[in-house]
Amino acid sequence: MRILITGGAGFLGSHLADRLIRDGHEVICMDNLFTGAKRNIAHLMQHPHFEFVRHDVIDPFKVEVDQIYNLACPASPIHYQYNAIKTIKTSVMGAINCLELAKRLRARVFQASTSEVYGDPDVHPQPEGYWGRVNPIGIRSCYDEGKRCAETLFFDYHRQNGVDIRVARIFNTYGPRMSPEDGRVVSNFIVQALNGEDITIYGDGSQTRSFCHFSDLIEGFVALMEQDDLVGPVNIGNPSEFTILELAEKVVQMTESDSKIVHRELPSDDPQQRRPDIALAKSKLNWEPSVPLEEGLRDTIAYFRDYLDG
């Protein structure tokens, strides 16, 4: 198949491109390089099945493809808050452009949605049937509400126009090719530990996240796209839950760093707990993650060590 990945030069998009090319597909990678980098796809540039197009998903596009994966959107709070209006446009107009293309081509289209649709949840762990607790006017809303609106669009195009959609709700995922400037917790802590800088915990560190290794996540994406029964939304993430303090201690210990843990103000609307209920993915996709946090951190630390060494 010929497959379009929007956001294909980002952390997850570039790993997805690797996987699809390995499976024998042709990949068109579209990206505006806001948070992505050519470095992530440099090894694919000469591959006969790979093409890079610098384009903004907000502007309509025409390509002939069999499938679309829509991943274009900054994912880290510092980047999505940098230009909040652009972020919500990226989610909403990007979704419309992908769906219009999918409608015309009768192509299956995948939406990279997020656990942020659950907001700061009062149900734990979060099953897909939970509607969430989201602030519509806060500093995270450009991302959370943008992604919620994108889900709405996906389901309306599905109901109204019969578009063949797949919607995955991704929980915190980490691994090699995250940008060192990304600002998300795993990359921040590792880079700080390797540089001997203070490890910055926002708040008291009692908030929780459940961290999924990218390799497990990509398997989940492909499992969802390659079956005909489930359109989603489906949670894809690792249900092993850690406090942010536990993560910081693990990173310090694994990097054998002298860094001190320091506390900074907790940003507003920061969710207190997050863990996916993955019963649906297990039963319908026969998918569950297999990489424990320590093992996944090992290759991520090795990646950043190499990166920082130049």
Helix axes 293-309, 185-194, angle to 10 degrees: 50
d(C-alpha 139, C-alpha 211), whole Å: 23
d(C-alpha 310, C-alpha 305), whole Å: 9
In terms of CB distance, is 166 or 257 closer to ligand NAD?
A: 166
Choose from ligand UDP, ligand NAD, none: what does 200 bind? Cβ within 5-8 Å by kind.
ligand UDP
Under the criterion CB under 6 A, does residue 202 sit at the interface with ligand UDP? yes
Under the criterion CB under 6 A, does residue 242 sit at the interface with ligand UDP? no
Under the criterion CB under 6 A, does residue 188 sit at the interface with ligand UDP? yes
Partner residues linked to 119 by β-bridges? 133
Under the criterion CB under 6 A, does residue 249 sit at the interface with ligand UDP? no
* Contact characters 67-106, ligand UDP, x per CB under 6 A: ---------xx-----------------------------
Tokens at residue 164, please? 């063949």
What is the separation, in whole angstroms, between the first and last Cα of the chain? Answer: 37
Under the criterion CB under 6 A, does residue 209 sit at the interface with ligand UDP? yes
Under the criterion CB under 6 A, does residue 275 sit at the interface with ligand UDP? no
CB atoms within 10 A of CB 151: 20
Choose from ligand NAD, ligand UDP, none: what does 34 bind? Cβ within 5-8 Å by kind.
ligand NAD
d(C-alpha 298, C-alpha 114), whole Å: 25
Cβ contacts of 146 within 8 Å, gap of 6 or more = 73, 87, 88, 90, 91, 92
Question: Minimum distance between the CB of residue 266 and ligand UDP, rounded to whole angstroms?
Answer: 6
Question: Minimum distance between the CB of residue 143 and ligand NAD, rounded to whole angstroms?
Answer: 7
Tokens at residue 102, please? 């999918």
Q: Using CB under 6 A, which of the segments 8-16, 29-37, 201-209, 293-301 binds ligand UDP? A: 201-209
Classify each residue of 135-145 as buried b or exposed e, where b means 16 or more C-beta atoms within 10 Å of its C-beta.
eeeeebbbbbb
In terms of CB distance, is 174 or 257 closer to ligand NAD?
A: 174
Question: Minimum distance between the CB of residue 139 and ligand UDP, rounded to whole angstroms?
Answer: 11
Q: Which of 17, 101, 234, 244 binds ligand UDP (CB under 6 A)?
A: 244
Extended beta strands in 237-297, E state:
241-243, 261-264
Instruction: Clarify whether 143 is annotated catalytic.
Output: yes
Question: Minimum distance between the CB of residue 256 and ligand NAD, rounded to whole angstroms?
Answer: 26
113: left (phi over 0), alpha (psi -120 to 50) or beta: beta
Among residues 80, 118, 143, 174, which one is catalytic? 143
In terms of CB distance, is 11 or 50 closer to ligand NAD?
A: 11
Distances, alpha carbon 196 to alpha carbons 191, 204, 215, 310, in Å: 8, 21, 28, 17
Question: Minimum distance between the CB of residue 244 and ligand UDP, rounded to whole angstroms?
Answer: 5
**20 exposure class (CB count in 10 Å sphere: 0-12, 13-18, 19+):** buried
Residues forming the site for ligand NAD (CB under 6 A): 6-7, 9-13, 31-36, 56-58, 71-75, 90, 112, 114, 170, 172-173
Under the criterion CB under 6 A, does residue 185 sit at the interface with ligand UDP? yes
Chain residues in the site for ligand UDP (CB under 6 A)? 76-77, 172, 184-185, 188, 200-202, 207, 209, 244, 267, 270
Q: Show which residues are catalytic.
A: 143
